[in-house]
Amino acid sequence: MKNKLILLALCLLTPALLRAEKHGQETPLSKQMEAMSKNFRQLGRQVSTDSKRDSSLQLIQAIQKNAETAKTLIPAKAKTVPAAEQAKFIEAYKKDIDVLLGQIAKLTDAIRAGKTDDANKILVGFRAIKTEGHEEFASEE
């Protein structure tokens, strides 16, 4: 009976232990990216609503802060790049973040001007930036 209880406890705890292990793999950069992603999702749901303009601008401000912080961090994948190419890899990463920051500025201007169609087009462009950036700079997990 005691062995069955131990086996049952292990079966019940294994998923929690695996989640805790994965949670332990979070990096400062992944936290910034996750916060940015969460804010982008919220922004996408409300960007066309004129009454939520101030809220949208606050979300964009948070996204910009996340992107600026992310620019100061180094992707974990940089460790897998040959030493001779690491500086080039990190510089390319920072240039991609600069592109993102430029698009964030355009999005801010569009929302301030009440140009929701333009804002939605810019938001669609963020998906491509995210996909390309993650393909190039995110670690395989």
The pLDDT tens digits of the residues spanning 66-97 come to 999 999 999 999 999 999 999 999 999 999 99
Torsion of CA 112, 115, 116, 119, to 10 degrees: -70
Assigned token pair, 64: 């910009």
The domain segmentation of the chain, as residue ranges, is 27-137
**27-137, CATH topology level:** Four Helix Bundle (Hemerythrin (Met), subunit A) (1.20.120)
Give pTM, 2 decimals: 0.78
Are the beta carbons of 63 and 36 closer than 8 angstroms? Answer: yes
